[in-house]
Structure formats: C-alpha cells, structure tokens
Amino acid sequence: MRDSESGGPERPSQPPAPHGEQLLGGRLLAEITDRLVLLISEHYGRGPLKAKTYVLDNLIVCVLSGGYIALEQTMMEGGERERVLEMRRGFQQLMKTRYSEMVEELTGRKVLAFLSQTHVEPDLSVEMFLMDGRLPGFGALELVIEPDDS
C-alpha cells in the first residue's frame, strides 16, 4: 500500500483543481507526489511504498522509499547491490524528461536542473528539481517562545 503525502500537515481532502488552474501549497505537493508515483509505477513496474514532496525556496524535493521489484530483491540477495543502484540511476536519468515536463506543467515554472539519487538499505530515492523561481504559496514560519520570567 502506498502512503502518498504532501509536505504539509493533515488537511481536509479537496477536489482536484480544474484544468489550467494553478495549484498551490499542499495541493500542489500532493499532485506532484501522486503524478511521480504514477510515472514510476507505470514505467518501473512498482511504485514506492512511501512518497513525500517538499518545496524549499526554488527547489522541489521528492523523497521516495520502499518498493524493490522481485528482480532487484534477487540481485540484492545475490550481492549485486551496486548493480541495483546503477539500474535505478539509469532509470531515473531515462525518466528525467517525463518528470521535468510533469513538474513544469504543475508549477508553471521551468526546471533548470534535475538531480536524482538512490540509496539501498535503507531503500530511499530523492528526486530534486531546481526551478527558475520560487513557487508561490510556500514559506517558513518560525515560532520563538520567550522564556517565562515569572
């Protein structure tokens, strides 16, 4: 079962945005996550067990974990860990255009660079998109609690 999350906190489920409408905040993150997982499932044969997307200034970071296919499991057990990593890296590079087009479509911004890394044990992949500008609707809030003098 896949646990697809946005980078935001728990939020009420919302209907998808009408075609052409710019998604913002948690809805944008959830849509990027879902579309990325769908692309991986379609082209790799199995999607990640967990996926989450974050926005950091002009960087979009998608963190994917879990989901070895049977072939990878067999190779790992046979001590071919490096070959599994190489295969995954090759796949991510092949998918670069599809991923970038999807992110550009959803954000309305241009992808300047795509970076992708994979790790086994723990099974993690990170897809990163450097955008040509900051995405609206994201920021940071710092709460400082003053010490109680009383």
Partner 1 sequence: MLREHYGRGPIKAKTYALDDIVVCVMRGSGFTPLEKTMMDAGDGERVVAMRENFQEMMARRYREMIEELTNRKVLAFLSQAHVEPDITIEVFFIDRPLEGFGAVEVLDAVRPPPPSPE
Chain residues that interact with partner 1, rule: CB under 8 A: 7-9, 11, 25-26, 52, 54, 56-57, 59, 61, 63, 112-113, 115-119, 122, 124, 126, 128, 130, 141
CB atoms closer than 10 angstroms to residue 68: 16
The distance of closest approach from Cβ of residue 56 to partner 1 in the complex, given in angstroms and rounded to an integer, is 5
d(CA 51, CA 125): 9
Nearer to partner 1, 42 or 83 (CB): 83
The distance of closest approach from Cβ of residue 95 to partner 1 in the complex, given in angstroms and rounded to an integer, is 15
Contacts of 46 (CB under 8 A, 6+ apart): 40, 67, 68, 69
Nearer to partner 1, 83 or 110 (CB): 110
Nearer to partner 1, 37 or 129 (CB): 129
Nearer to partner 1, 45 or 136 (CB): 136
The distance of closest approach from Cβ of residue 82 to partner 1 in the complex, given in angstroms and rounded to an integer, is 13
- Tell me if 64 sits within 8 A of 125, measured CB to CB: yes
- Tell me if 44 sits within 8 A of 70, measured CB to CB: no
Nearer to partner 1, 45 or 76 (CB): 76
The distance of closest approach from Cβ of residue 128 to partner 1 in the complex, given in angstroms and rounded to an integer, is 6
Provide the token pair at 40.
């991986």
| Helix (H), strand (E), coil (C) string for 60-83 | EEEEEECCCCHHHHHHHHCCCHHH
The distance of closest approach from Cβ of residue 105 to partner 1 in the complex, given in angstroms and rounded to an integer, is 21
Tokens 């044969």 identify what position? 45
